[in-house]
Structure 1
Amino acid sequence: MKDTLMTTDAAADASTDSTVTETGTHAEAHQHGYISDKDRYLARMRRIEGQARGIAKMIDDEKYCIDILTQVSALTRALQGVATGLLDGHLKHCVLDAAKQGDDDAAIAKIQEASDAITRLIKS
């Protein structure tokens, strides 16, 4: 299936202000670990979006179910690749920075975030 590059709400959501945390507050001095690869992640998410649209078209065109499942598997692997890359960046940047600052509570919180993210990835 040919990947298409399209800008969508999903890609726009992925590129929102990188200083906004999950709680909606700004972390003034902190840059997220993925920032250096932001363009690569956005490009990958656009390709993933193209894959998802291609799968929807296959269903609409009533393609063979096994061929659709093959594409779903490829899409799943692509998303897992993005997730593991982001997790790696979180560990190497966010967790490491918290530990270097000597703030045990912050470091433990970052490690817990990583553990929770791993649990969510395993369940999905």
Structure 2
Amino acid sequence: MDPELENEMISEDSCCTPSHGRMSHHSEKTKKNLVTRLNRIEGQIRGIKRLIETDTYCDDVITQISASQAALNGVAKILLEAHMKECVVNRIQEGDMEVLDEVLVTIQKLMKK
């Protein structure tokens, strides 16, 4: 992942707290970056569909699927990092230790893939 993009993902206003109804609050720059990445992934998925429709060799399709999965994992890593650095830290500082169980479940979900 591009270190410059990673650094701009974490911002001081990317916190999600229970008082906000479990919503994240990312900066506009972060949102734009994530949406750009997701738009690129969306294009990759459409490309995979076209490859299947045109009977492209299976190995080539699988390679494109793998690239799309890696791109989605990149988005998840950025969100998880922001969540841990901001939301989780803040909730622990407020005495909410249940957030650790929540994070562990989230990590388990990511690792299944």
User: TM-score, normalised to structure 2's length?
Assistant: 0.75
2:109 is equivalent to residue 120 of structure 1:
yes
For these two proteins, the number of residue pairs brought into alignment is 96
Query: For residues 43-76 of structure 1, what are the alpha-carbon distances to aligned partners after superposition, in whole Å with 9 as ceiling and x for unaligned?
Result: 1111101100100010001101111011001001
State the one-letter code of the partner of 1:121.
L
CA distance in 1, matches of 2:32, 2:54: 33
Structure 1 residues 100 and 26: CA distance shift in structure 2, 3 A: closer
CA distance in 2, matches of 1:97, 1:90: 10
Counterpart position of 2:9: none
Superposed CA RMSD in Å reads: 2.3
Matches within 5 A, 1:10-89: 27=20, 32=24, 35-36=26-27, 37-89=30-82
CA distance in 2, matches of 1:113, 1:27: 17
What are the ranges of 5 or more consecutive residues in structure 1 without an aligned counterpart? 1-19
Counterpart position of 2:99: 110
Contact 1:32 1:93 (8 Å CA) reproduced: no
Structure 1 residues 46 and 76: CA distance shift in structure 2, 3 A: same
> Percent of aligned positions with the same letter in both sequences?
36
Structure with greater helix percent: 2
Counterpart position of 1:97: 90
CA distance in 2, matches of 1:74, 1:27: 35
State the one-letter code of the partner of 1:55.
I
Query: For residues 66-123 of structure 1, what are the alpha-carbon distances to aligned partners after superposition, in whole Å with 9 as ceiling and x for unaligned?
Result: 110110010010011011111111100101111222x2xx2x2222221111100111
User: TM-score, normalised to structure 1's length?
Assistant: 0.69
- Report the secondary structure of 1:41's partner residue: helix
Runs of at least 4 residues off by over 3 Å: none
What are the ranges of 5 or more consecutive residues in structure 2 without an aligned counterpart? 1-15
State the one-letter code of the partner of 1:119.
Q
